[in-house]
């Protein structure tokens, strides 16, 4: 029997919640867990003239770092690199925006904090 680590199960649940949240707001989900080398983008979506890159952070308690502290400069650089690869591969001609979605999950309940335009890319 294969056992999956609890943090992976929680992360997958958070990404599902985030994707449903985005769809409910009229976003179109283009890809989930898109990989470029060793870098991964949790959710790639579009809405209007934007390509939206979403980093999802899921916790089982209310103890979060300050929102932008959990997506530090190195992670931002990874996301920007992977985004540039995605744009090049699919010839995307949309303005890029980076969002962060924080989710706190407890039992069957969850709380979402969606930070739009959380950091500016340096392409």
- pTM here is 0.86
Domains in the chain: ranges and CATH: 6-119 (3.40.1350.10)
* Inter-residue long-range contacts of 81-87, CB under 8 Å, 24+ positions, other chains counted: 81/36, 81/39, 82/34, 82/35, 82/36, 82/39, 82/40, 82/41, 83/41, 83/51, 83/53, 83/121, 84/123, 85/36, 86/31, 86/34, 86/36, 86/41, 86/44, 87/51
pLDDT of the residue at 107:
75
pLDDT of the residue at 62:
60
For the chain, 123 residues long, give each residue's pLDDT as a single digit of tens: 445 666 667 778 889 999 999 999 999 999 999 999 988 999 999 999 999 999 999 887 765 554 456 788 899 999 999 999 999 999 999 999 999 999 988 877 889 999 999 998 765
pLDDT of the residue at 93:
95
pLDDT of the residue at 11:
75
């Amino acid at each position: 029997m294969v056992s999956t680590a609890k943090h992976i199960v929680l992360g997958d649940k958070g990404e599902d919640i985030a994707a449903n949240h985005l769809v409910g707001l009229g976003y179109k989900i283009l890809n989930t867990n898109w990989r470029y080398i060793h870098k991964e983008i949790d959710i790639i979506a579009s809405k209007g003239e934007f390509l939206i890159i979403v980093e999802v952070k899921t916790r089982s308690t209310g103890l979060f770092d300050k929102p932008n502290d959990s997506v530090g400069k190195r992670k931002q650089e990874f996301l920007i690199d992977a985004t540039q690869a995605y744009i090049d591969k699919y010839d995307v001609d949309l303005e890029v925006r980076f969002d962060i979605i924080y989710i706190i999950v407890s039992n069957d309940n969850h709380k979402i904090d969606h930070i739009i335009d959380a950091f500016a890319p340096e392409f």
